């Protein structure tokens, strides 16, 4: 039987570098699946439909909420973001590791529904660097940047409840740490091939013992 995969949640303040770090894992971990979220946020110039996000109107988004199509969803700085459930389930059934870049409110929903997921928090090198990154990437208005910086403090406080933390001083190093976490999580006994094999062996021994016991218990009448 195919072993079920697992979810890896990556959260961190806007500008911490989640996308850049995830991009740096793509080459070396070809078997990772990256969940593509839906959002009502306007598309940025370099973003592609179905690659960076599925861009929806608010009405479309709310219809999908009603239809139960999201594993989780949340409002972030005035826009809606959600993870399509069907893709995640399909990948997990195929035994794959699914990486999700979602905010802390979404992460809490995933934890309630799938507590076996792994939660990784990405820290910016410092608050001043975070502000610098948000300002220099020029994808948001001044007001949106202020909103995202305010939200960052709330997010930083929530990081304490995550399983792992990575300070993103240097992208290659952060990606290497993330890959190590994935590798270690794959080696957990309950997720490993060994666990499945052991269950088979124990199962066979268990069946054999039951057969032997039933033969032994048959007694002289049956033997005769
Ligand atoms: P951005 O607008 O910068 O692409 O994303 C803003 C925030 O939304 C980021 O913190 C990102 O992690 C979060 N986000 C992206 N996709 C999802 C999602 O599907 N669900 C939730 N809850 N948050 C998301």
The whole-model pTM stands at: 0.86
CA distances from 47 to 40, 41, 52, 160 (A): 13, 11, 6, 31
Radius of gyration of the chain (CA): 23
Nearest CA to ligand 1 atom 1: 14
Kindly give, in sequence order, each residue whose CB lies less than 8 Å from that of residue 144, ignoring residues fewer than 6 positions away: 77
pLDDT tens digits, one per residue of 6-48? 999 999 998 899 999 999 998 777 779 999 999 999 999 999 9
Spacing, Cα 145 to ligand 1 middle (Å):
15
- Are residues 18 and 122 in contact, defined by beta-carbon separation less than 8 angstroms? yes
Spacing, Cα 53 to ligand 1 middle (Å):
10
Pick from 202, 178, 197: nearest CA to 32:
178
Ligand 1 pocket test target in 12, 76, 88, 109 with most atoms within 8 Å of CB:
76
**Sorting pLDDT into bands at 50, 70 and 90, what band is 220?**
very low
Determine the atom of ligand 1 nearest the C-alpha atom of 74: 22
Spacing, Cα 12 to ligand 1 middle (Å):
10
pLDDT tens digits, one per residue of 41-98? 999 999 999 999 999 999 999 999 999 999 999 999 999 999 999 999 999 999 999 9
Domains of the chain: 6-192 (3.40.50.300), 193-224 (no CATH)
Determine the atom of ligand 1 nearest the C-alpha atom of 70: 19
Nearest CA to ligand 1 atom 5: 14
Q: Is the CB of 40 under 6 A from ligand 1?
A: no
């Amino acid at each position: 039987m195919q072993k079920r995969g697992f979810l890896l949640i990556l959260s961190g303040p806007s500008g911490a570098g989640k996308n850049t770090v995830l991009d740096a894992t793509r080459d070396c971990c070809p078997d990772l699946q990256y969940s593509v979220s839906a959002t009502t946020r306007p598309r940025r110039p370099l973003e592609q439909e179905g690659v960076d996000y599925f861009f929806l109107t608010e009405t479309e988004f709310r219809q999908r909420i009603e239809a139960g199509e999201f594993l989780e969803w949340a409002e972030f700085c005035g826009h809606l973001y959600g993870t399509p459930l069907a893709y995640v389930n399909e990948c997990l059934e195929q035994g794959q590791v699914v990486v999700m870049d979602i905010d802390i409110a979404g992460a809490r929903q995933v934890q309630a529904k799938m507590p076996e997921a792994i939660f990784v928090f990405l820290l910016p090198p410092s608050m001043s660097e975070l502000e610098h990154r948000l300002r220099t990437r020029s994808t948001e208005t001044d007001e949106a940047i202020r909103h995202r910086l305010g939200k960052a403090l709330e997010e930083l406080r929530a990081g304490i409840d995550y399983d792992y933390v990575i300070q993103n001083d240097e992208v290659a190093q952060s990606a290497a740490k993330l890959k190590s976490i994935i590798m270690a999580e794959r080696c957990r006994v309950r997720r490993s091939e060994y666990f499945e094999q052991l269950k088979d062996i124990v199962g066979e021994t268990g069946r054999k013992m039951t057969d032997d016991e039933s033969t032994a218990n048959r007694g002289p009448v049956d033997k005769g």
